[in-house]
Amino acid sequence: MSARHQWLRRPLSRPNLRAVLVCCPHAGGDAGFFHPWARALPEAVELLAVQYPGRGGATPPPPRSSALHTWADEITDALRPLRGHRLALFGHSMGAVLAYEIARRLDSRRLTPERLFVSASPPPGAERPRRGDAGDAELVAALRRWGRVDPASLDQPDQRAAMLDALRGDLRVLDAYRPGPATRLGCPVTALAGADDTEVAPSAVRGWRHRTAAPFDLVTFPGDHFYLAAHRDEVVAVVADRLGVADPASAWVAP
């Protein structure tokens, strides 16, 4: 399996694309979380969603503390065929940190992305809860609180075990992550946050302004840690606006 096929999923091909948006999901998530975005984005934007190891047929992750850096290395390599295209990165929660590490690597290869979008995450190096060793009851409570899974599936032992394995594995990767030097990216950064997020407050998300030498802006939406599920079209409109590919017929105006 090629590196690109292992890491990236393309839910919808855009033959006349003007930009490519690479999306990194949250801990415990998979590429399918972003698939509905493919049709919501303007026709000029093609979406590539990252598939984490151990999900959807992807190779299980190796047991190493540098896993997130390894993922960033391999995803950056998988993006090599896109040289010459306008490329942007979007990461939600844990995915924001991974997207940042990919952006750092692209910067070092003089392939600076068009923009980095970071959602519901403090910047690298900021204090965050360590949950990789949390018990099943705590993780189930978090899944119910976030509302990102069918509650009935949590009552099925096999389905619950699979979800908890994926979530716990990703949280351990995040716990083990150690950022390198506080690199300032060459691309603009747009941070997004839920106004009522009890996991990561908008004030913490604002810390990303120190991670870029280019312009920074913060956009806040109503909602909690997964505000982007209820406000998908508005979030997509912000992405399109910042990339300069917004549909002029859209009735929603990005802030």
Could you give the residue numbers annotated as active site?
Answer: 93
Angle between helices 157-176 and 67-78 (to 10 degrees): 90
Q: What are the CA-CA distances from residue 74 to residues 46, 151, 213 (Å)? A: 20, 34, 25
Contact by Cβ (8 Å): 228, 234: no
| List of E strands, 104-180 | 115-119
Contact by Cβ (8 Å): 240, 45: yes
Tell me how far apart the alpha carbons of residues 248 and 253 are, in angstroms, rounded to a whole number: 10
Tell me how far apart the alpha carbons of residues 228 and 4 are, in angstroms, rounded to a whole number: 26
Q: Which residues contact 202 (CB under 8 A, 6 or more apart)?
A: 193, 194, 195, 218, 220
User: Residue 26 carries which DSSP code?
Assistant: -
User: Residue 212 carries which DSSP code?
Assistant: B
Count the Cβ atoms, other than its own, within 10 Å of residue 56: 11
